[in-house]
Structure 1
Amino acid sequence: MSGHDSKYFSTTKKGEIPELKEELNSQYKDKRKDAVKKVIAAMTVGKDVSSLFTDVVNCMQTENLELKKLVYLYLINYAKSQPDLAILAVNTFVKDSQDPNPLIRALAVRTMGCIRVDKITEYLCDPLQRCLKDDDPYVRKTAAICVAKLYDINAELVEDRGFLEALKDLISDNNPMVVANAVAALAEIQDSSARPIFEITSHTLTKLLTALNECTEWGQVFILDSLSRYKATDARDAENIVERVTPRLQHANCAVVLSAVKIILLQMELITSTDVVRNLCKKMAPPLVTLLSAEPEIQYVALRNINLIVQKRPTILAHEIKVFFCKYNDPIYVKMEKLEIMIKLASDRNIDQVVLLEFKEYATEVDVDFVRKAVRAIGRCAIKLERAAERCISVLLELIKIKVNYVVQEAIIVIKDIFRRYPNTYESIIATLCESLDTLDEPEAKASMIWIIGEYAERIDNADELLESFLDTFPEEPALVQLQLLTATVKLFLKKPTEGPQQMIQAVLNNATVETDNPDLRDRAYIYWRLLSTDPEVLKVYTSHLPILCLSDIPMTTGYVCGFDRQQKMLFWQRSL
C-alpha cells in the first residue's frame, strides 16, 4: 500500500455524539430542532444518547410545540436512568402546566405522569390539581389519566391530596370525553386496590349513560366496561340499562359491540319478561355474526367470547351454526375455536345435515391437530345427543376404515367415552376396533383400547390373549397404560377365572407392586390384591403351595398377610397365623 492511501485511515469527523452536542447548543432554532429529531431517531433504533441529557433539556425552553413534544419524549425515556438530572426539567414542567396554550398544559402534565421518578412525583401534585379543574376539557381529560399513573407510583399521595374525589367529580363533567377518561382512571385504580374505590350509584349511572352517546369509541368501551360492574336493583332498572346500551350493538368497533353484549347478558339475568329476553337474543345474533367477517385476530377474540355466550345462552346463535363452518384458509387457532362452538350448538335438528358432514370432512384434512380435534368432536356430539349416537359411531367406523394411524387412535379414544356413556349398547363394533390393536402407539389410545377389552372381556373370546400382548412391555409403558392394564386384568380375572387370567393377574400384580416406583400404580395394585384376598377360593390356585418367607408390615383386616417368595420373585397372600 502506498503512502498516498493513508488518507483513508484519517478522519476529520468528531463522531456522532459530539456533533449532536454541538448542534443542540446551536444559536439557530431550526438547527436545534433538527438535532433533537436526530437524537430521537437514534434513541428509537436503540442507540444510547443518554449523555446528551443536559443538552436536550436545555431545548425545552421553546414556544415550538413540535420541539417541546420531542424533548418530552426524550425525557420520558431517560428520566429513570438520570433521576438527578431529570429534576432540572421540573421548573419548565411547572411553568408549562400554566401556559396559555391548552395543548402545552396537557403535554406537561402527561409527561410528568409518565416520568416514574419519586423525586419528581411531589412536584406533580400542584400542577395536576390545577389541571383537573382546568377550563379546557382536553387538559381535564389528560389530567384524569395522569391521576391513575400517579396512583401506580404513590397511592398514598393520591389519596392524601384528594385526587380520587376530584376524579369522581369529573364523572359529572359536561364533556363526555372527560367523563370517559375519569371512568377509565377510576377503573384502573380499582383494579389495583383491594378496597372499594369506584362504585356506581343510580345517580352515577344516569351520568354514564348520557355520556355514552357522545364520546369516542374507546371512551364508550371504558364506560361500558365500568357499567358491567353495576348491579341493577330490579327488572325495570335492568330493562332501562339494556334499552340505552342496545344501540351500541350496531357500532363498527368490535370492542364496543362485545362490551355491549356483556352488559346485556348480565342484565338479562334480572329481566323477567320472556318476550323481552327473546327479543334481545334476536338482536344480539347479527352483530356477533358480523364479527366473524373481520380479520383472523379479531375473529379469534370474537369466537372466544361467543364460546362463553353459547354456554350461557345457546338460543342466541342456535340457528347460525353455518357461520362457524371452517374455511380452508382459516388459521388453525380460528378453526379450533369454531369446532368448539359447533359442538356446543349441535342439536338433533342439525346433527345430520350439518354437523356430522362437516366434521367428517374435517377429519380428512392435512393438519393433524385439527383432524384429531374433529374426530373428538364427533365423539363429543355422540355423548351429548343420545339420538345421534349411532350415526356418530357409523362415521367413526368409516374413519377407522381409512387406516390413517392418528385418526384410528383418536377414534378409539372417543369410542371408549361413548361406551362409558351408553353401556351395553354398541358392543358389536368391538371386533372392528380389535383389528387396529397392533397399530396403537399413543398412550391414551392404548389405555382406551385396554379399557374396552377389560370392560367387555366376557364378550371377547380372546380377551386374555389381547391383554397378554401388552404384558411383555408392561415396565416400559407409561403410567396411564399401566394403570389401565392393571384394572383390565383384574376385570378379566373376575369375569374369566381360568388358568390364563390367573397367571396374568399374578404377573401384573407382581409388576405393579415389586417392580415399579410409581406410588399410584403400587397403591392401586395393593388395593386390588387386598380385595381379591377376601375370597380364599380365588387365592387357592396360586397361594396354597407357597411358603411364607417374609411378612409385610401392611395391616390386614381380612385375616390375610402379604408374603414374598424370593426364589420365584413373587408376592402372594396367605392366612395369618
Structure 2
Amino acid sequence: MSQEINFRNQSISTEINRLLNSGSEKDKLYGLKKVIYSMSYGMDMSEYFMSVVKNISSSNFEIQKLVYMYIIRYSEYDPNLSLLSINTIQRKLNDKNQIFRGTAIRMLSGIRVPAISKIILSEIKRCIMDMSFYVRKAAAISMVKCYRLDSSSLPILIEYLLILFNDQSHIVFGSALFVFQELCPEKLDLIHPYYRKICKVLHKLSEWDQVTALNILLVYARKCFLKPDDKTSYNSEDLNKKESFFNEESYFNEESNEKAEESINNILNKDLNLLLTSIIPLLRSRNSSVIMAACKILYHVGPLTKQSELAKPLIYLLKESSDIQYIVLTNIIAIAIKHPTFFSPFYKHFFIYPSDSQSIWELKFEILSLIARKENIKDILEELKWHTKSSNPNIIFKAIKSIGYCAVNHCSISELCLQNLIGNINSANDTLIVESIFIISQLIQLNPKDNLHYIEQLVLYYDSIKVASAKACIIYLMSKNIFNLPKLSLDMLRILAKSFSQQEEIVKSQILIFAVKLYIIYSSNCFEEKLEDSPLDIFLKNSKISNISDENNIPSSLILEKNKMPENEVIYNNPSNKLIVTKLYDYIMLLARYDLSYDLRDRARLYKFLALNSTSLFTQKVVFSFSPNIKMTTDSIGRETFTLGTLSLMLFKQIKGYENLPNWSDDITQLPHPNLREEKHNNIFEDTNDNFLKTSTSKKDKKDNSILLNINSVEILDLDDFYRSNTDTEDEDSETEIESKFNSNYEENTNSESTKKETSFENEEADNKQIIPLL
C-alpha cells in the first residue's frame, strides 16, 4: 500500500514539474494552480522552488501573481535561490503598468531575507514618489514588512511615512494610517498636523482604513484632550481667547491664567467636537466593524449627551449574523451595566426568538434584567414569565433569575415578582420549582420581616416538594427566621423529625442545624438569667479566638436577648414546649449519630458538644452566626472594566496583549497646543484616483501652460455680449477660429510628446539591461 502511495506521489511530482517547465503559458498556469492548491492544504511544495522561480519573468499577470505567492511562502527555504528573482522583480518596478509595479514592490518586501533590507528601503523610497496611487499604497504596506524584517530602519520609515501623510489620495492616506499604527502608535506628535485632516476625510476612507483611523483617534483624544463636560459650549468669544492661555505673558500671570483656564476647555474641545461630529455618518456604515469603532469613540470619549447616540447603531447590528450578534450583545451589556437607560426604549429588540442560540438568549436575558425600568417592566416581566414555561431547563433558570434581578432592582414590583414565583411551586416541572424557591429565598432575605407570610406558604408546600435542594432551601429560610416564627418552628421541627431518615444528606444537614438552634433557644432561659462566661469562653478569650461579632457589631452575649421578642416569652418559657423540643432534638441527634454519612456524623458530634453548654457565648456565636445575604447580580458584572469592542470584553477575561485606554489628562499645561493641529498644505501629489497618470517634468508643464495661454489669448465673448451680437455667423467664425488654434497647438504638443516618450522608453530599456544580479 505504501509503495502505491509513493508511486502516485512521484507521478504527481513529475506531472507538476512537466507543467511548470512547459513552453505553454496555459500549462504553466495550470501547474502553478496545482502547487498553490496543495499549499493551501498545508502540503510541503518546496521541491518545486527552482521550477516556479523560473516563471517569474512571464508576461502573464496571473502567472506572476501565483509565483509571487509561492516565493513569499518559501523565500526562507532557500535564500540564495530567492535572490535570483530580485533582479526580475526590480525590472517589474519600471513597468508601464501600475498594477505590475505595485505587485512588484509588495513581492520584494515579502521576501524575508535580511540581506536585501537596504534594497527594499531604496525601492520603497522610489515607489512612494510614484505617480500612481496604487503603487504608493503598495509601498506603504511594504513599509510594515520592511520594519518587521529590519527594525533598525524605523527612523527612515518614519520619514517616508510623513511623505505619505501629505498625500492627497484617500487610499494612500488610509494606508499611511495603517503604517503608523503598526510602526509607531505611541508617537502621537506625528498626528498633530494631520488630526483635522483625518477627521475631515474620515468618511472618504475605505471601511478598514476607517477602523484603523478611529482606533488612532481614540487614543489621541484620550491623551491630548481634557475630559469633556456635558455643559461645554463652543462660543466665538472662547475661540478668540485661545492665545490667552498659551501666551507667555499671560501664562505666568496668575490672574489672567485663572480666567483663561476657564475657557481653554472649550478651545480644546473644539477639536474634540470635530471628531465627535465626523464619526456620526459612520454610525450608518454597512460595515459592522466601522460601527463598533465609532461607538467605541462615542462611549469612551464623548460626553454623556453624545453617548446615548450609540444605542440605535448597536441595535441595528442585531439584524446581522449570530456571530456579530454575540459580539454586539456583549458590548451592549458592558454599556448597560453603567448606563441602562440608553437601551431601555429598545427593550423589545432583546426579546428571545426561537431561532436564537443559547449564547444569544443568555445575553438577552441579562440585558432585559439590566434595562428594566418602570416604563417597560410590565412587558419585560410578561416576556420572562412566558419563558418560565419553556421545556428547556436552562431557559427556565435564566428567566427566573432575571425575574429575581428585576425584583431586587425595583422594589415596586418585588411583591408582584414574589407572587408569580410562588405560583410556580404548583408546577409539575421540578426545575421550575427549584429555581423559583432559590430566587424566593434570596428575595425574602433582603427584607425578611415583611415577607414572613411567604415563608409560611413555602412551609405548607414542603411535603409536596420532591427535590432535595428545594427542601433544604425552605429549611434554611426557617432557620434564618427562627426568632420571628416561634410557633411555626415547633411544628416544622415535628414534621422534619418524622422524615429525617428518608431525606438526602443535604436536607439532613439543614434539619440538624435547625434542631440545634431551636434546642439552644429553649434551653438557654435568656429571659430569666444572664449569660456568663464558661471555662471554654475564658480560654477562647485568652487565646483571642472569640473576638467575633455579628454583622451589626452587637456583642455576642446579646444574641439571644436581641432576637428573642418579649411577646414570645410565653412560648419560650412554656415547659411543655421545652420538653417537646428536647425530645425531638435527642431523637434527631440519635439518628444522625448512626447515619451512613461520616460528614453528618461529625457535624452531629460537634453540635452536641456545643449544645451541652447552651448558655456559652462561644456556642451562640457559632450556632447563630450571621451569614451574609447572597447578592443577586448578573453574570456579566465586570465586563464594563474592559475597553469596548475588544476581544477581552467578549471573552470576559484579559487576553495577552490587551491594553487599557490611557487615562484622561487632568493637567491642562501638559496638553499639546491647539496650534499644533493647524493643517499644513505642503501637498506633494494631487488626487490621482483614476488610471491616467500626470507627468511631473518641467518641460511638459511648460507645454501644457503654453496650450492654456494660447486658448486664453483667444477672445471669448461674455454672456451679455453673446446676446447683443447681431448675427450668428460672427459666432461661428469665432468658434472655428478657436478650434483651429486649439487643434494646431494640440497637434504640435502631442507630436513632441510622442517623440520624447519614444526616446525615454529606449533609455529605460538600456538601463534595464545594465541591472546586475545580486548573487
State whether residues 132 and 143 of structure 1, in contact with CA within 8 Å, keep that contact through their aligned partners in structure 2: yes
**Equivalent of 2:39, from 39, 43, 54?**
43
Partner of 2:152: 157
Distance in 2 of aligned mates of 1:109 and 1:510: 85
Q: Using a 3 Å threshold, how does the CA distance of structure 1 residues 86 and 533 change in structure 2: closer, same or farther?
A: farther
Q: Deviations over 1:80-112 (max 9, x none)?
A: 455554444344444444544332333233344
Displacement, 1:430?
Answer: 2.2
Say if 2:283 and 2:313, in contact at 8 Å, map to a contact too.
yes
Residues 611 and 619 of structure 2 are in contact (CA less than 8 Å); yes or no, is this contact kept in structure 1? no
| In the alignment, structure 1 residue 106 sits paired with structure 2 residue 186 | no
Classify 1:537/1:350 alpha carbon distance in 2 versus 1 (closer, same or farther; 3 Å): closer
**Alpha-carbon contact 2:515-2:585 (below 8 Å) kept:** yes
AA matched with 2:38: A
Deviations 1:439-498 (A, max 9, x none): 3356xx677445323212342425546777998799976xxx999889767755655555
CA contact (8 A) 1:475 1:516 kept: no
Matched with 1:73 is: 69
Is 1:439 aligned to 2:466, yes or no? yes
Identify the residue that residue 409 of structure 2 maps to in structure 1: 384
Residue 376 of structure 1 and its aligned partner are, at CA, apart by 0.4
- Structure 1 residue 255: Cα displacement: 2.1
Check if 1:308 corresponds to 2:334.
yes
Task: Report if aligned partners of 1:110, 1:146 keep a CA contact under 8 Å in 2.
Answer: yes
Separation in 2 of the partners of 1:390 and 1:333? 31
**For the Cα contact (< 8 Å) 2:520–2:614, is it kept in 1?**
no
Identify the residue that residue 480 of structure 2 maps to in structure 1.
455
1:298/1:530 Cα in 2 relative to 1: closer, same or farther (>3 Å)? same
Query: 2:36 & 2:586 partners in 1: Cα distance?
Result: 82
Report the CA distance between 1:316 and its aligned residue: 2.5
The residue correspondences of 1:279-428 to structure 2 (distance < 5 A) are 280=306, 283-352=309-378, 354-428=379-453
CA deviation map 1:227-259 (0-9, x unaligned): 221233435333332222212222222222222
Identify the residue that residue 53 of structure 1 maps to in structure 2. 49
Q: Quick one: which of 128, 146, 150 aligns to 2:142?
A: 146
Q: Is it true that 1:251 corresponds to 2:285 in the alignment?
A: yes
User: How far apart are the structure 2 equivalents of 1:485 and 1:189?
Assistant: 68
In the alignment, the residues of structure 2 paired with residue 528 and residue 208 of structure 1 have an alpha-carbon distance, to the nearest angstrom, of 77
Equivalent of residue 17 in structure 1, options 10, 13, 18: 13
Instruction: After TM superposition, give the deviation of residue 168 of structure 1 in Å.
Output: 4.8
* Distance across 2 between alignment mates of 1:311 and 1:168: 42
Greater CA radius of gyration, 1 or 2?
2
Q: How far apart in 2 are the matches of 1:98 and 1:403?
A: 81
Q: Which residue in the other structure is 1:212 paired with?
A: 202
Question: CA separation in 1, counterparts of 2:8 and 2:422?
Answer: 82
- In the alignment, is the contact (CA less than 8 A) between 1:36 and 1:70 conserved in 2? yes
Give the secondary structure class of the aligned counterpart of 2:373: coil
Mean Cα displacement is larger for which, 161-170 or 210-219? Answer: 161-170
Q: Distance in 1 between matches of 2:177 and 2:499?
A: 64
- Contact persistence 1:300–1:333 (CA under 8 A): yes
Instruction: Find the aligned partners of 1:259 and 1:528 in 2 and give their Cα distance.
Output: 64
* 2:250 is the counterpart of 1:170: no
SS at match of 2:391: coil
**134-143 vs 396-405, which moves further:** 134-143
Instruction: Measure, in 1, the Cα distance between the counterparts of 2:47 and 2:393.
Output: 55
Amino acid corresponding to residue 247 of structure 1 in structure 2: P
How many residue pairs get aligned? The number is 504
Question: How far apart in 1 are the matches of 2:158 and 2:467?
Answer: 64
Shift of 1:137: 2.3
**Cα distance change of structure 1 residues 382 and 13 upon mapping to structure 2, 3 Å threshold:** closer
Partner of 1:551: none
Distance 1:526 1:179 in 2: 77
Distance 1:539 1:63, change over 3 A: closer
In the alignment, the residues of structure 1 paired with residue 30 and residue 499 of structure 2 have an alpha-carbon distance, to the nearest angstrom, of: 78
Segments of structure 2 that go 5 or more residues without pairing to the other structure are 1-6, 227-264, 524-580, 621-775
Distance, in Å, in 1 between the alignment partners of 2:216 and 2:599 is 57
Aligned AA (1:440): V
CA, structure 1 residues 452+476, in 2 after alignment: closer, same or farther (shift >3 Å)? closer
Answer whether contact 2:165 2:173 (CA < 8 A) is retained: yes
Residue 117 of structure 1 deviates from its aligned partner by: 5.4
Q: Kindly indicate whether structure 1 or structure 2 has the higher relative contact order, using CA contacts under 8 Å at least 6 residues apart.
A: 2
1:227 corresponds to 2:213: no
Kindly tell me: are residues 486 and 253 of structure 1, through their superposed partners in 2, closer, same or farther at Cα, counting changes over 3 Å?
Answer: farther
CA distance in 2, matches of 1:96, 1:305: 48
Change (3 A) 1:431 1:172: farther
The AA in structure 2 aligned to 1:338 is K
| AA in 1 matched with 2:616 | P
Which residue identity is paired with 2:478?
I
Report the CA distance shift for 1:136/1:448 in structure 2 as closer, same or farther (over 3 A).
farther
Q: By how many angstroms is 1:380 displaced?
A: 0.5
**Offset of residue 77 of structure 1:** 3.1
CA distance in 2, matches of 1:476, 1:199: 68
Q: 1:429 to 1:173 in 2, by over 3 A?
A: same
Check whether the contact 1:486–1:509 (CA below 8 A) recurs between aligned residues: no
Q: In 2, distance between residues paired with 1:98 and 1:348?
A: 71
**Residues 388 and 120 of structure 1: is their aligned pair in 2 closer, same or farther, counting only changes over 3 Å?**
farther
TM-score by length of 2: 0.57
Change (3 A) 1:466 1:391: same
CA distance change for structure 1 residues 537 and 374 in 2, over 3 Å: closer, same or farther?
Answer: closer
319-328 or 226-235: which moved more? 226-235
Q: CA deviation at 1:503?
A: 8.3
What per-residue deviation string (whole Å, max 9, x for no partner) do you get for residues 303-324 of structure 1? 2222223233333222121121
Q: Would you say the 8 A contact 1:362–1:371 is kept in 2?
A: yes
Q: Displacement of 1:139 after TM fit?
A: 2.5
Comparing 255-264 and 226-235, the one that deviates more: 226-235
Identity fraction in percent: 26
